[in-house]
Structure 1
Amino acid sequence: MHKIKVGLVGGAGYTAGELLRILLHHPRAELSAIVSTSNAGNAVSSVHDDLVGETEVQFASKLAGDEDVVFLCLGHGNSKAWLEKNPLPAATNVIDLSNDFRLHADQEFNGRTFVYGLPELNKAAIQAAQSVANPGCFATAIQLALLPLAAAGQLRADVHVSAITGSTGAGQSLSETVHFSWRSGNVSIYKPFTHQHLSEIGESLRQLQPHPAVDVHFVPYRGNFTRGIFASVYTPSDLTEDEARQLFRDFYADAPFTTVAERELHLKQVVNTNKCLLHVQKQGRQLLVTAVLDNLLKGASGQAVQNMNLLFGLPETMGLELKAGMW
């Protein structure tokens, strides 16, 4: 059985650690090189200590050159710079986890065309692609809460979103708001109405419903927990609750990781999985859709592996059948 040779650039961060945890047990993946210039020569498990006993692989200073696919786990703005300095063979697939190639204006780069990698929206395009721009974590949750409405032309008024994320959403770089002593027992907002994920959300909604265009008003929250996103998304609607719930079920009938749940949701249902759970309810004219997912998996690394599976014609769920830790 042919193995997919995988390279990973930016191997020391949270998303890289989750990618490695998945790929080490993926039946068709073979790690070729894990690049971290600051850790070259060190054991991967010395940084990602959840992998102690799982692998003896060391960080490398550069790719091996034989990779079938390369994951870029670099900070926003750094993927373009890395590809300019390190051009890859035309046949090498790229899956980028930054925001460098998510928007239409950025998807053509150095002879590559990046496809926006939300499988529930662009599955066929991803299967035919060579390079994929992995969506943002908040963007994934909010889009999955809205795509069925957009596809049915049912977004007819502004959308309001409140969503909270765990501390891993800020990455590993230290700042005041990621310190335990600041986060513990604390909640705060950041980038209200200006969050960078709004642009990709808007493009996806207009892809399904060009007119009328609606505004998404988004207030993100920092939570005092480690991982997960809980999003509350609401907008006026003339649909009944039953009609809306059936609309969502039909839209996601063939989506293996997105499920419309009967009961109200909580984060522990999805942490450590590649699932997004949705719940639909109606109060007066307001249709409320809640969405929960793991920001490091369905919001980043798990979705990236889902995209790899689609690129290489593998079952979409391969290597991603992960169970939540409830207790």
Structure 2
Amino acid sequence: MKINIGIIGGAGYTGGELLRILLNHPQVNINFVNSKSQVGKPVYSTHGDLLGETDLLFSDEQSFDKVDAIFLCSGHNESKKFLAANNVPTNVKIIDLSTDFRDESNGFVYGLPELQRETIKNATKIANPGCFATSIQLAILPLAKAGLIKDDIHVSAITGSTGAGQSLSATTHFSWRNNNISIYKAFTHQHLQEINQSIKGLQPSFENLINFIPYRGNFTRGIMANVYTKFSGTLEEAKELYKNYYASHPFTHISDQEIDLKQVVNTNKCILHLEKHGDNLLISSIIDNLTKGASGQAVQNLNLAFGLEESAGLKMKSVGF
């Protein structure tokens, strides 16, 4: 029996990516795709890659009695407004892709499977992690779990333009972004809150700084985060720690070779590479910001919440060249 789902805010990047994944999910039926701006239009008129894949139309439908789960793909602060205005039945699971409930307020569970898979399995409301937060946390969770973060954490990370959403602005316009690079929200990025929350959940004694410098990249998809902190052990000990932590997780992998972004674009993977430089352990982390950093992870959470194989519908291959 298939899971019936509805998508709220289906015209944006995360909504389009979610549709692309769910249309090929063997155990999901898409009941409706809601969009305030595109009502009555074919889904493929906005998401051109879906031409020939579906005849679904955008609608203003919100028929909660017809679905088992809904995905909230609207902008930040919109999920709170939506839930305040709509009485979603308690038997309908909610997966929110905004920042609104990542502090686990209003009964939401923080949906990073590599952190709390078992809790997600029993959740009815799931707050999907942020894209930068996902890549950075996966780089440091094993250290926190072992209580080995003893110093400040330093992060330099770059993201593709799709991380800013579809709305045009001075810093997302092609003519500015192409052949360009810039930093933004240095030391103040909103994802720091959820990163700190997760680290302290694993290592309550953590009181150090996370020095995070985010970069806007001149490419469309993907995140590379380079994270380093003091580590007294050997590189071999660090690799063993990481491989043991992620042994049961299907999407996070440790590479002994240097990594590059094309390995993960269009997949739900995170690939980590570890190096030791003096007293510092450098962890490089790569994900696709729209899949493992957003819609793919949301489907991963759907799978867990409904007792499906965790990787159902998510066995996608990257484009290597």
Give the structure 2 partner of residue 268 of structure 1. 262
Return structure 1 stretches of 4+ with deviation > 4 angstroms. none
Matched residues in 2 for 1:170 and 1:57: separation? 26
Does the aligned pair in 1 maintain the 2:69–2:92 contact within 8 Å?
Answer: yes
Aligned-partner residue type, residue 307 of structure 1 = N
Partner SS for 2:108: strand
Does the aligned pair in 2 maintain the 1:306–1:316 contact within 8 Å?
Answer: yes
Partner SS for 2:32: strand
Per-residue deviation, 1:64: 2.5
Matched residues in 2 for 1:306 and 1:234: separation? 28
Which of 214, 220, 231 aligns to 1:237? It is 231
Q: TM-score, normalised by structure 1?
A: 0.97
Give the structure 2 partner of residue 132 of structure 1. 126
Give the structure 1 partner of residue 49 of structure 2. 50
Partner SS for 1:238: coil
**1:221-236 alignment, distance < 5 Å:** 221-236=215-230
Give the structure 2 partner of residue 292 of structure 1. 286
Partner SS for 1:12: coil
Matched residues in 1 for 2:273 and 2:87: separation? 44
Matched residues in 2 for 1:161 and 1:239: separation? 20
1:199 equivalenced with 2:193 (yes/no)? yes
Matched residues in 1 for 2:274 and 2:208: separation? 20
Does the aligned pair in 1 maintain the 2:199–2:206 contact within 8 Å?
Answer: no
How many matched pairs? 320
Percent identity, aligned pairs only, is 56
Q: Which runs of 5+ in 2 are unaligned?
A: none
Per-residue deviation, 1:239: 1.2
Matched residues in 2 for 1:76 and 1:202: separation? 20
**Cα deviation digits, residues 5-48 of structure 1 (max 9, x gap):** 01000010000000000000100100011000111111000000
Does the aligned pair in 2 maintain the 1:32–1:63 contact within 8 Å?
Answer: no
Give the structure 2 partner of residue 158 of structure 1. 152
Q: TM-score, normalised by structure 2?
A: 0.99
Partner SS for 1:178: coil
**Cα deviation digits, residues 128-162 of structure 1 (max 9, x gap):** 11110000000000000000000000000000000
Matched residues in 1 for 2:87 and 2:244: separation? 42
Does the aligned pair in 1 maintain the 2:221–2:290 contact within 8 Å?
Answer: yes
Q: Which runs of 5+ in 1 are unaligned?
A: none
1:34 equivalenced with 2:28 (yes/no)? no
Give the structure 2 partner of residue 100 of structure 1. 100
Give the structure 1 partner of residue 180 of structure 2. 186
Matched residues in 1 for 2:275 and 2:145: separation? 19
Matched residues in 1 for 2:111 and 2:121: separation? 10
Per-residue deviation, 1:215: 1.4
- The CA RMSD measured in Å over matched residues stands at 0.6
Give the structure 1 partner of residue 169 of structure 2. 175
Per-residue deviation, 1:266: 0.3
Aligned-partner residue type, residue 25 of structure 1 = N
Partner SS for 2:144: helix
Does the aligned pair in 2 maintain the 1:236–1:287 contact within 8 Å?
Answer: yes
Per-residue deviation, 1:214: 2.0
Partner SS for 2:149: coil
